[in-house]
């Protein structure tokens, strides 16, 4: 892709009309425990992600970050407690998973792939009218893929494919956006451009929850952070949450050195037993 | 005039015999219904599953034969029931992994054997040949109408579900997240597949197609035979044979000048570079899918 085009993405986003979401989404956790095969991965989560939040979820591997997103998206049934969604239906959530499930050998071109994001308004039968074509073109332009509309998705690089996935998310026009490690294996320029898109979603009033590993990026881009290590270690202002003490505590728990050495068993369940 | 035409060796069979006049009609029906379904089977990486299901229908049809003899409606109905049962039991998901391939290959051989055994319980070897390979003489108007009905039903179902089927084949989890129609797409396609397989069985019964792959084009070039270097070479040759004309049409069909230039750029890369896209679909399948174009 043309690198000069990459540099213009932030400008084009800055000039793009900011369409605010109609009903901001709120996510509430009520004593939520999520896991697999009755083994908890996230314990007793309580609290709320306020409307229009830009929240980073960080923590060591196996901390339950992706599990939490799966729970919010409704792909994992809580073992205990519940997740309440306000202002958004589960099928309105835009969820970008860590490993895209799409078959990249599928002979679909970038334009049609991005058009999938319009499913909620187009359904199985509506055609692409001029307004929809313009929106698709705008989304492709916003992610810096202009000129590649007729390329099959299988011929895109990893970064370009991630941009196409972001363009599809844009067209979903979702009040709640879940991103699971969206910048894995892509170059710095792509990270910068896609981060600009996430900022734009935030200013439009969308609630964005992103699982991330790059703590420097989180410090720069995300005002709020949730530090997880199978349970909540800290939550709130990013600078305060990402303190050395909290990070060491999270690592200790993940490695079984903390006060939760048998993390597969829920602490409060043990206390109750 | 007709005497003059009858004297032409290529035309005379069509003039003299009714079943030969009906044969092109049966052929166009089969092409119309089976090609798009075969394309989707390959796109979903289910060509082997299609093969296995086509054979799973045989024992069902054989039970129909056992009960009602060589009756097309009875064999069609029992074949349909068997096919739908297998589709539901198998779940019809995309196929990945060698183990699953091996079990599917075993399953279809078992089905074929069971079908032959059941037919042999009642009928003679002539009946067996008739059920397995059909008879071109049986292609009467009623059979042709039945096949035309299957083809029409298949085309209408495909037109209604085209975008759903495409979305489900490309990114099934995405569809499951955004729409409650995901199970409709999944099982709808399986029902469409079974309908096509049963239509293939009817066609075989009626006209002696002799083809144990009734989905028509559903089988991948590698098929189910054991892999060998020679088979691989054959597969590559076959793919080159189909890729080149498909590449040419893809280039020519690109509409705007920009698109055409892009097609010129990408087709040689797609056709030539096997390492860049090791799991790519044959260009003929890509061409067929682009022709269907669910996001028009």
Instruction: Give the tens place of pLDDT for each residue, A110-133.
Output: 999 999 999 988 888 888 889 999
CATH value at residue A218: 3.40.50.300
Q: Please check whether residues A179 and A265 belong to one and the same domain.
A: yes
| Rounded distance between C-alpha atoms, residue A71 and residue A66, angstroms | 9
Q: What is the pLDDT at residue B145?
A: 86
Q: Please check whether residues A181 and A51 belong to one and the same domain.
A: yes
pLDDT tens for A96-105 read 987 667 788 8
Q: Please check whether residues A87 and A184 belong to one and the same domain.
A: yes
Q: What is the pLDDT at residue B267?
A: 44
pLDDT of B6 over the 80 cut: no
- Point out the residue among A73, A105, A112 whose CB comes nearest to the CB of B295: A112
Q: Please check whether residues A193 and A165 belong to one and the same domain.
A: no
Q: Please check whether residues A89 and A180 belong to one and the same domain.
A: yes
| Rounded distance between C-alpha atoms, residue A230 and residue A249, angstroms | 12
Q: Please check whether residues A72 and A126 belong to one and the same domain.
A: no
| Rounded distance between C-alpha atoms, residue A262 and residue A253, angstroms | 9
| Rounded distance between C-alpha atoms, residue B86 and residue A217, angstroms | 51
Inter-chain touch B293–A112, beta carbons under 8 Å:
yes
The number of folded domains in chain A is 2
Q: Is B277 exposed, middle or buried (0-12, 13-18, 19+ CB in 10 A)?
A: middle
Strand partners, A26: A86
Q: Please check whether residues A179 and A62 belong to one and the same domain.
A: yes
List the single range of A47-56, A180-189, B40-49, B276-285 with lowest mean pLDDT.
B276-285
Domain annotation covers residue A99: no
Q: Per-residue confidence at B241, pLDDT binned at 50, 70, 90?
A: low
Q: Please check whether residues A16 and A150 belong to one and the same domain.
A: no
Using an 8 Å CB-CB cutoff, list chain B residues near A100.
Answer: 171
Q: Please check whether residues A146 and A110 belong to one and the same domain.
A: yes
Segment (H or E) for A237: strand A232-237
Domain termination residue (choose one: A173, A202, A229):
A173
Domain annotation covers residue A100: no
Q: What is the pLDDT at residue A111?
A: 92
Hey, what are A259's tokens?
A: 């006060």
Segment (H or E) for B10: none
Domain annotation covers residue A161: yes
**Inter-chain contacts counted by CB atoms under 8 A, chains A and B:** 82
Segment (H or E) for B151: helix B141-170
| Rounded distance between C-alpha atoms, residue A255 and residue A252, angstroms | 5
Closest CA to B176 of A22, A105, A238, A70: A70
Establish if B93 touches chain A: CB-CB under 8 angstroms: no
Domain termination residue (choose one: A173, A208, A225):
A173
Hey, what are B125's tokens?
A: 């070897």
Q: Please check whether residues A117 and A188 belong to one and the same domain.
A: no
Q: What is the mean pLDDT of chain A?
A: 84
Domain annotation covers residue A98: no
Q: What is the pLDDT at residue B98?
A: 53
Q: Determine the structural domain holding residue A133 and report its residue range.
A: 105-173
| Rounded distance between C-alpha atoms, residue A89 and residue A14, angstroms | 29
User: For residues A103 and A176, which has the higher predicted lDDT (pLDDT)?
Assistant: A176
pLDDT tens for A203-215 read 999 999 999 999 9
Hey, what are B254's tokens?
A: 């690109």
Q: What is the pLDDT at residue B247?
A: 62
Using an 8 Å CB-CB cutoff, list chain A residues near B160.
Answer: 124
Which ipTM was obtained for this model?
0.82
Percent of chain A with pLDDT over 70: 84
Preferred mutation among A71, A104, A116, A146 to probe B, highest tally of B CBs within 10 A: A116
Domain annotation covers residue A224: yes
pLDDT of B147 over the 80 cut: yes
Distances (CA, A) of B96 to B88, B197, B244: 18, 22, 28
Q: Please check whether residues A114 and A226 belong to one and the same domain.
A: no
Q: Please check whether residues A191 and A249 belong to one and the same domain.
A: yes
Q: Length of chain B in residues, anyone? A: 296
- When pLDDT is averaged across residues B204-216 and rounded to a whole number, the result is 44
Domain annotation covers residue A156: yes
Cβ atoms within 10 A of the Cβ of A143, count? 27
């Amino acid at each position: 892709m043309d690198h000069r085009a990459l540099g213009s993405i932030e400008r084009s986003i800055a000039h793009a009309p900011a369409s605010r979401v109609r009903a901001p989404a709120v996510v509430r956790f009520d004593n939520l425990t999520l896991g697999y095969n009755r083994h908890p991965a996230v314990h007793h989560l309580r609290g709320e992600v306020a409307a229009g939040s830009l929240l980073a979820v960080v923590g060591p591997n196996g901390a339950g970050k992706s599990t939490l997103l799966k729970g919010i998206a409704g792909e994992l049934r809580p073992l205990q407690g519940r997740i309440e969604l306000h202002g958004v239906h589960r099928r309105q959530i835009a969820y970008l998973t860590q490993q895209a499930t799409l078959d990249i050998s599928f002979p679909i071109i970038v334009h049609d792939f991005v058009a999938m994001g319009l499913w909620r308004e187009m359904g199985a039968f509506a055609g692409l009218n001029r307004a929809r074509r313009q929106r698709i073109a705008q989304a492709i332009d916003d992610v810096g893929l202009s000129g590649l509309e007729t390329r099959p998705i299988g011929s895109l690089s990893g970064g370009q494919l991630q941009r196409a996935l972001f363009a599809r998310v844009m067209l979903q026009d979702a009040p709640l956006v879940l991103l699971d490690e969206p910048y894995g294996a892509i170059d710095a320029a792509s990270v910068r451009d896609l981060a600009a898109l996430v900022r734009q979603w935030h200013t439009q009033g969308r609630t964005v929850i992103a699982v991330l590993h790059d703590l420097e990026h989180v410090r720069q881009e995300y005002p709020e952070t949730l530090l997880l290590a199978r349970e909540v270690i800290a939550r709130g202002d990013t600078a305060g949450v990402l303190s050395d003490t909290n990070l060491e505590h999270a690592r200790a728990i993940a490695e079984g050195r903390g006060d939760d050495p048998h993390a597969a068993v829920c602490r409060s369940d043990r206390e109750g037993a | 005039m007709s005497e003059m035409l009858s004297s032409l060796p290529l035309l005379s069979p069509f003039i003299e015999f009714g079943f030969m006049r009906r044969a092109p009609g049966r052929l166009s029906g089969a092409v119309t219904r089976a090609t798009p379904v075969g394309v989707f089977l390959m796109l979903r990486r289910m060509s082997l599953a299609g093969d296995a299901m086509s054979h799973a229908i045989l024992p069902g049809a054989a039970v129909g034969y056992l009960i009602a003899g060589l009756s097309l409606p009875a064999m069609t109905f029992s074949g349909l029931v068997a096919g739908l049962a297998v589709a539901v039991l198998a779940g019809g998901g995309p196929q990945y992994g060698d183990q699953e391939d091996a079990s599917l290959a075993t399953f279809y051989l078992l089905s074929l054997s069971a079908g032959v055994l059941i037919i042999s319980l009642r009928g003679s070897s002539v009946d067996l040949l008739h059920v397995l390979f059909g008879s071109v003489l049986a292609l009467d108007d009623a059979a042709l109408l039945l096949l035309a009905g299957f083809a029409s039903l298949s085309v209408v179902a495909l037109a209604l579900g085209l975008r759903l089927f495409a979305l489900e084949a490309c990114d099934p989890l995405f569809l499951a997240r955004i729409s409650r129609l995901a199970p409709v797409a999944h099982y709808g396609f399986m029902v469409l597949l079974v309908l096509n397989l049963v239509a293939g069985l009817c066609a075989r019964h009626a006209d002696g197609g002799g083809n144990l792959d009734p989905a028509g084009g559903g089988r991948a070039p590698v098929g189910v035979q054991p892999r060998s270097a020679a088979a691989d070479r054959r597969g590559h040759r076959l793919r080159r044979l189909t890729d080149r004309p498909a590449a040419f049409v893809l280039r020519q069909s690109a509409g705007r000048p920009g698109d055409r230039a892009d097609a010129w750029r990408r087709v040689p890369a797609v056709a030539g570079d096997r390492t860049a896209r090791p799991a790519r679909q044959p260009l003929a399948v890509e061409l067929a899918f682009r022709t269907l174009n669910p996001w028009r």
